[in-house]
Amino acid sequence: MFSQTYLDVALLCHPIFAIISLRHPKMQVKHSVLHYFLFSFGSLLVLRYAFSSYFPMAAERHVQSCTSVDQPNPIASLYPNNATGVLNGTVAVLPISLKLARQLIPPQYGILEHVYRSLLPDFPRGMYPAIVQAVHDHEVQAFGYLIPDFTRTGIEFPFVDLLNDNQTSFKWAPSLLMTAGHDIALNGAIEYGTKVFPAAFEPQCDAYRVVPNSKRPGTSYFGARSAEAGAASLTTLFSSTEKEIFPLDFFKNFTNQPTFADAKTCDNMIRLFNTSVTTSPNGIEPVKGTVRAHLYPFSEEREWKSVYGLRFASAFVENNYLPCESFRGYDGHE
């Protein structure tokens, strides 16, 4: 199991090393370097597939048997040397008291209340906008190497003053429910210090499921339950709404804040709102609904009713494991 993961990681990183060595000024004999790169990549690929046919694991089969209705990744060829993908799902605002936010967010980090108030002047006094994201990661790839789709959900805390500069907003994402058996995604999140709960999802291979014959139009369901019984769960039920409580710019802002868990490194997930998967008619649907979560850092199960959010898909570019300090003054337009 581990060997297979390492082979996957080796395959994923291989082109990076190849590019580094090709760009290295002292590497004069470029042909033989390229030759070596192609040969070792080929060998790894053979090993990788030998492994999966000798040890076909249930989880692996489960991950790969998924077919999604999601649209293809529209930017893979635009950024061939970056990690890109499509995120499809629901993002909503979970208002909690500032007092509770202060208890949950590690005490060494301030909360940038003046920043979220500049974006949401009417947000109720004494409250803080926590965020729920329930998304399906589709056609995630880099250097032409595609990983199987996976699903993840968690509650996140934006507008955190990680650098203590009273200006740059970071998003604290301390925990995730994530597709069980998907070792690349699970280990990728664990590297950030995230509390990761391998989980089963409903629907299994898509962002949400339309509830048939619902009284409310455009009702969709999403559910996640940890493989370890009772450790974590999250369900959402959202319906279309005409009312847009929060402006789109607010969603663009917090979804693009650099994200951290233990703050040793930061994740720069750039969600693009201008590609075909988002700009198609009804590409962004305002929704209202209920979220129920039993998930760290909340100490008990909680339910939020009548919360507002957006159901949409977006393409993304992701730059992983960067020094958090490098985001001082980051405004999402670099």
Ligand X SMILES: *[C@@H]1O[C@H](CO)[C@@H](O)[C@H](O)[C@H]1NC(C)=O
Question: Which of 316, 328, 324, 327 is CA-nearest to residue 152?
Answer: 316
* Residue from the set 274, 282, 299, 306 that interacts with ligand X by CB under 6 A: 274
Tell me the C-alpha distance between 174 and 261, whole Å.
5
- Residue 69 interacts with ligand X (CB under 6 A)? yes
272 contributes a contact to ligand X by CB under 6 A: yes
CB of 83 to ligand X, least distance (A): 8
Closest by alpha carbon to 115, among 219, 254, 297? 254
Binding segment for ligand X among 36-44, 96-104, 191-199, 269-277 (CB under 6 A)? 269-277
Q: Which token pair is 252? A: 């663009």
Chain residues 103-162 in contact with ligand X, contact rule CB under 6 A: 114-115, 118-119
Calculate the alpha carbon distances from 215 to 183, 208, 290 in Å.
39, 18, 15
List the structure tokens of 325. 């300090």
Residue 39 beta carbon to ligand X: minimum distance, rounded to whole angstroms: 25
What is the token pair recorded at 164? 């203590």
Residue 84 in contact with ligand X, rule: CB under 6 A? no
**What does the CA dihedral 160, 120, 274, 319 come to, rounded to 10 degrees?**
0
Please report how close the Cβ of residue 21 comes to ligand X at its closest, in angstroms: 16
Residue 206 sits in the site that holds ligand X (CB under 6 A): yes
How far apart CA 257 and CA 187 sit, in angstroms, is: 22
**Residue listed under structure tokens 């947000």:** 123
Site for ligand X in 88-107 (CB under 6 A): 88
Give 147 or 270: the residue with its C-beta nearer to ligand X.
270
Hey, which residues between 208 and 247 contact ligand X (CB under 6 A)?
A: 208
Q: Which residues bind ligand X (CB under 6 A)?
A: 69-71, 79, 82, 88, 114-115, 118-119, 166, 169, 206-208, 253, 256-257, 270, 272, 274, 277, 313, 317, 319, 331-332
